[in-house]
Amino acid sequence: MPFKKKTAEPQSILKNRTASSPDKLTAEQAVCIAGLVAAAVRNQNACYVQPGKYGTVMVKFYIEGDQFAENLPLNDDLEETCEQIVEALYLQDDVAWNRRAFSTARATPAPKARKDAEPSQG
């Protein structure tokens, strides 16, 4: 019987890259990811979110025995990417619901009090 040489696990080429961590996640990015989870729960599907390598977040969906996964880079395109995932996996009603509930692009900050405004007498 010929001897088969064991092959080692491949090593990472870019060893200096770091994994994503929760402290680098912005509030807007967290809302986008929460929208994915909400879409899955709304459709009675399982969804797992875990930190990925190199500044990404891995999302996995389990839909009627099928598995779907995507690495989401934490960048400016995250909201659009999350919407595309919901659109690919679910119905247009779910996309519309997610836009109403989780869209950060339309969210506006609360108005700030003016410093020169006089306090109201009441």
* pLDDT band, residue 76 (cuts 50/70/90): confident
pTM: 0.68
pLDDT of 51 reads: 86
Q: Is the pLDDT of residue 94 over 50?
A: yes
Taking residues 98-107, report their average pLDDT. 72
Contacts of 78 (CB under 8 A, 6+ apart): 28, 29, 32, 33, 72
Say if CB 55 and CB 20 are below 8 A apart. yes
Q: Tell me the C-alpha distance between 104 and 37, whole Å.
A: 16
Predicted confidence (pLDDT) per residue in 22-66, tens digit: 667 888 999 999 999 999 999 999 999 998 877 788 999 999 999
Domain boundaries, the chain: 22-102
Handedness of CA 50, 19, 68, 13 (dihedral sign): negative
Predicted confidence (pLDDT) per residue in 8-34, tens digit: 666 655 565 555 566 678 889 999 999
CATH number 2.40.50 is the correct assignment for the domain at 22-102:
no
